[in-house]
Amino acid sequence: MRSPLLVAPPVMAAPLIDPFGRAISYLRVSVTDRCDFRCRYCMSESMTFLPRDQVLSFEEIDRLASAFIRRGLRKLRLTGGEPLVRRGIIDLVQSLGRHVRSGALEELTLTTNGSQLARFAGDLAAAGVRRINVSLDTLDAEKFAHITRWGRLEQVLGGIAAAREAGLHVKLNMVALAGLNEDEIVPMLAFAAAHGHDLTLIETMPMGEIDEDRTDRYLPLSRVRAGLAQRFTLTDLPERTGGPARYLRIEETGQKLGLITPLTHNFCESCNRVRLTATGRLFMCLGQDDQADLRSVIRGSSDDAALDAALVEAIGRKPRGHDFEIARAAPAVARHMSVTGG
């Protein structure tokens, strides 16, 4: 394995504040748009991915992330596509981990489909990652293969077990899909409780063209919650982790359940996050097309003053919120979730 990237620690500067007074403390970085699955609600089976020469190098990702950390970033999440399919990814994680060790960064984490976790869980833990999110929409092997097209449930469950053995806390993300996995939400809660995992349910998001009509699979979580309330005692929790989820406790099991509801309950009022694509485009809102080209800034100048100015200008354009609407004939935004970073 190559040595971690050697970059000087950031000198702290004024925080980035958007026009609505929200401090930007959470950055999601897509390290690749490529994925070894083709989940039906996320992308088409025949995807065209970015040419590799358009993708940011690890040094460029490190420089951009460090610039945000210098301006008050506290949480950094690596995403994709599937981040663990990018060659040498542990080198980047090791380098970014220095910010956790110094105390400049509160958390370095990752969202994965779990396919490569058996290989990398130990390395992630050693690099400073303490918590990961794993996408898991079903515990039925046949249904899992149908939803992911290319995935194998056994491989993902093995990866989750390896992560737990390495000391990583695992949160499961389950996209709620009408007529497909809505009858598995209670079994997934039981699985999560048995293995010490938190669970978050997510409404499907209208992003990018896929091979089917999303409205056929849209399952409002308000309906899911009403169903759960008939079986369990649910208590709303004030806890916020910096992400879009709202949390409740299931009193009978004591476990925490998150709900991400971009359609039935807009979560934008406290949004403190922005997303950086693998090509260096900064999206200030997941559900809007406005973006800032940070790749051209860092490739055009080694002066961090120019980069700082670009960050301030971009955050100054962050909107109040998105306008997702599942009933539209076309997606709310044309790009796929794998492009922006899941």
Any known ligand binding at 273? Answer: yes
Any known ligand binding at 135? Answer: yes
Any known ligand binding at 28? Answer: yes
Cα distance between residue 146 and residue 69, in whole Å = 40
Any known ligand binding at 249? Answer: no
Any known ligand binding at 205? Answer: yes
Any known ligand binding at 337? Answer: no
Any known ligand binding at 63? Answer: no
**DSSP 8-state symbol, 180:** T
Any known ligand binding at 41? Answer: yes
Any known ligand binding at 247? Answer: no
Cα distance between residue 255 and residue 190, in whole Å = 10
Any known ligand binding at 171? Answer: yes
SS3 70: helix
Any known ligand binding at 77? Answer: yes
Asked if 117 and 163 count as a contact pair (C-beta separation under 8 A), the reply is yes
CA proximity to 80, closest of 127, 43, 46: 43
Any known ligand binding at 338? Answer: no
Any known ligand binding at 1? Answer: no
Any known ligand binding at 40? Answer: no
Count, residues in the chain: 342
Q: Which residues are annotated as a binding site for [4Fe-4S] cluster?
A: 35, 39, 42, 268, 271, 285
Q: Which residues are annotated as a binding site for S-adenosyl-L-methionine?
A: 41, 81, 135, 205
Q: Which residues are annotated as a binding site?
A: 28, 35, 39, 41-42, 77, 81, 111, 135, 171, 205, 268, 271, 273-275, 285
Q: Which residues are annotated as a binding site for GTP?
A: 28, 77, 111, 171, 273-275
